[in-house]
Amino acid sequence: MTPEELSKIATIEQEEQQQHKHVIQVCVAAGCLSSHSDQVKDALDKEVSKRGLENTCHVKGVGCLGLCAAGPLVRVQPTAKPDAAVMYQAVTANDAADIVSSLEGPPVKRLVCPTNVPFFTRQKKIVLENSGIIDPDRIEEYIAVNGYAGLLQVVSTMRPSEVIDEVMRSGLRGRGGAGFSTGLKWSTVAKGRGSTKYVICNADEGDPGAFMDRSVLESDPHRVLEGMAIAAYAVGASQGYIYVRAEYPLAVKRLKAAIRQAERAGLLGNNIFGITFNFSIDIRLGAGAFVCGEETALIASIEGKRGTPRPRPPYPAESGLWGCPTLINNVETFANVPPIIRNGSAWFAGIGTEKSKGTKVFALAGRVTNTGLIEVPMGIPLREIVYDIGGGIPDGKKLKAVQTGGPSGGCIPEQHLDMPVDYESLAKVGSIMGSGGMIIMDDTSCMVDVAKFFMEFCRSESCGKCVPCRVGTAQMHDLLCRITDGSGTADDLTLLIELCDVLRATSLCGLGQTAPNPVLTTLQFFKHEYDAHIQKKTCPAGSCTIHAPAEVI
Partner 1 sequence: MSPQPVPQVRVVTLKIDGRDVGATEDETILEVARQNGIFIPTLCYLDGLPSIGACRICLCEIKGANKLLPACVTRVQEGMEVTTDSERLTRYRKTIVEMLFAERNHVCAVCVSNGHCELQSMAQKLGITHVHMPYRYPKLTVDATHARFVQDDNRCVLCTRCVRVCDEVEGAHTWDIMGRGIDARVITDLNQAWGDSSSCTGCGKCVHVCPTGALTEKGRSTAEMVKKQQFLQYLMQMREAKQ
Positions in the binding site for partner 1 (CB under 8 A): 289, 306, 310-311, 313, 459-475, 478, 495, 498-499, 502, 505-508
- At closest approach, how far in Å is the CB of 482 from partner 1? 9
> Closer to partner 1 at the Cβ: 45 or 492?
492
- At closest approach, how far in Å is the CB of 491 from partner 1? 9
Phi, psi torsion values for 286, nearest 5 degrees: -85, 150
Strand extents, DSSP E, 314-431: 326-330, 359-366, 372-377, 399-404, 410-413
> Closer to partner 1 at the Cβ: 31 or 309?
309
- At closest approach, how far in Å is the CB of 326 from partner 1? 19
Q: Are 553 and 536 in contact (CB under 8 A)?
A: no
- Residue 23's DSSP bridge partners are 58, 77
Query: CA torsion angle for 351, 354, 357, 360 (degrees, to 10)?
Result: -90
> Closer to partner 1 at the Cβ: 109 or 193?
193
- From the number of C-beta atoms within 10 Å of its C-beta (0-12, 13-18, 19+), residue 418 rates as exposed
Under 8 Å CB-to-CB from 371, ≥6 apart: which residues? Answer: 68, 69, 364, 365, 390
- At closest approach, how far in Å is the CB of 309 from partner 1? 10
Other residues' Cβ atoms within 10 Å of the Cβ of residue 240:
24
Report the distance separating Cα 501 and Cα 515, nearest Å.
11
> Closer to partner 1 at the Cβ: 370 or 507?
507
Query: CA torsion angle for 57, 61, 64, 69 (degrees, to 10)?
Result: 80
> Closer to partner 1 at the Cβ: 411 or 496?
496
Report the distance separating Cα 39 and Cα 142, nearest Å.
25
> Closer to partner 1 at the Cβ: 240 or 516?
516
- At closest approach, how far in Å is the CB of 498 from partner 1? 7
- At closest approach, how far in Å is the CB of 501 from partner 1? 9
- At closest approach, how far in Å is the CB of 425 from partner 1? 20
> Closer to partner 1 at the Cβ: 31 or 468?
468
Report the distance separating Cα 90 and Cα 111, nearest Å.
7
Q: Are 164 and 234 in contact (CB under 8 A)?
A: yes
